[in-house]
Amino acid sequence: NHAIVHARLFLDGKDVGVQAFLVQLRSLEDHQPLPGIEVGDIGPKVGFNGVDNGYCAFHKVRVPRENMMMRYAKVLPDGTFVKPKSDKLVYLTMVQVRAYMIKTLGVQMGAASTICTRFSAARIQGRTPDNKGEFQVLDYQNQQHKLFPLIAISYAAHFAGTSLVEMHDSALDVIKRGGSSFGAKLAELHAVSSGLKAWLAERVSDGIETCRRLCGGHGFTQSSNLAHIFAEIVGANTYEGTFDVLVQQHARYLLKTLASLPANEESTKFLNQSKQYSDTKLRCKAQTSEDFGNLDLLEAFQTRAARIILTLASQMKATKSVGNACMVLMTRASTAHAELILLEAFIRGVKSLPSGPEKHSMTHLCSLFGAWLITNSLGDFRQDDYLSSGQVDLVRERIVRLLPVIRKNCVLLTDAWDFSDFELNSTIGRYDGDIYRALVKRAADEPLNKTQVPEGYEKYLKPLIQSDL
């Protein structure tokens, strides 16, 4: 019956920006739309249909002043507009939504990778060299090479999302106490959440589809639930900001920070050493594949991000571009910084764990994540020979060496998400591994299998079969 409507407010002909208003849409007596208001549903979507997206139009509808949401910006009875303490306050709700979205993306990637891991452990295919048994699909190197980085993404998103939620709650606490030192923090939160949301929405959507393919034909069944998970999350690429818009917002924040050094915010402090990183003689110090296996990979990612941001700043200045001519480079800058933030969050999360086998396993997974990210953007890391061709071989070697190590605990790493069979709703992602009995039962429960003589047989098939030719 009511909605929070965001609309541009004009006072005495002056535009004072978009404000929020509580507006009654329907009658409380018969639920009919009020005069001047059109409302409706936009129709079925690809997925995410649990949320009923609609449209609304207003034709000369009056809204009382008291219906304006005036916690921060206000309109006084005499028509005077009172600005909020900071224009960054408009980010508050949006940043909160994005922070939780990043955690949700991690959860959905965790769900898909759990289903895929359990299927890969239960499915056996191909004789072993001694001819005494068959391989679990999970034992194949290619399966591991595609699946394990996706498990890593789920944890990286979890740690990064948790960190963003904590930063948001801290800023909100300052605001509630009447403080004013939240502007820079909210700007950072807005930029970082924009970059992470853009990166994760794309990678998680692609990752869920990869999980479906890794499950072969069974992954193509609706009962695997992978198609449903994909349909539910793929919309994240567009709602709450599309990729191309978000990476520009993220990149502009990085450029602004670079132009006003020193940087005080945690996510951009590395830019204070931008002069050091810009030295084309700077080289990666790794000498063995194990050097790419520790958690000291951050310098490589900081160097890469700083160099791309510096190049972007130089190109923007040279072309006097407002953005469009440099959009590809802005995307690279956003991607580089987002991957640095994710790796930092993953490393912090691992280091915060108590000593034990869990921390040992997570260290290997984090190491794989960093090495995998490098191989996905070799052009950036090879630029100016920061990484040599020999070091590229070491990175690839490190990944291959980590696969059998992670294989030992990959089922436990996905079980740690603690999804119930009810939540996963997947015949091939059952905790007990009894996937084939579940597949047969789900097929038997299909309406088409409830009767051996289908509807329409008497009318259509029988006359054809029994006719005289």
Identify the burial level of 270 via C-beta atoms within 10 angstroms of its C-beta, where 0-12 means exposed, 13-18 middle and 19 or more buried. buried
What is the token pair recorded at 380?
């950036």
Complete DSSP assignment for 102-125: HHHHHHHHHHHHHHHHHHHHH-EE
Half-sphere exposure of 337 (CA within 13 A, CB side): 39
Q: Nearest to residue 271, comparing CAs of 391, 180, 348, 188?
A: 188
Catalytic residue among 202, 209, 240, 265: 240
Identify the burial level of 222 via C-beta atoms within 10 angstroms of its C-beta, where 0-12 means exposed, 13-18 middle and 19 or more buried. exposed
φ, ψ (nearest 5 deg) of residue 425: 50, 45
The answer to whether 289 and 394 have CB atoms below 8 angstroms apart is: yes
Label the pairing between strands 124-127 and 74-75: unpaired
Diameter of the chain measured on Cα atoms: 92
What is the token pair recorded at 183?
């502007």
Tracing tokens 């034909």 back to the chain, one arrives at 217
Distance of CA 65 to the CA centre of its chain: 39
The answer to whether 275 and 308 have CB atoms below 8 angstroms apart is: no
Task: Specify whether 240 is catalytic.
Answer: yes
Residue 322: C-alpha distances to residues 68, 325, 326, 432 (Å): 35, 8, 8, 56
| Dihedral in degrees, nearest 10, Cα atoms 374, 380, 382, 386 | -90
What is the token pair recorded at 121?
């452990």
**Among all residues, which ones are annotated catalytic?**
240
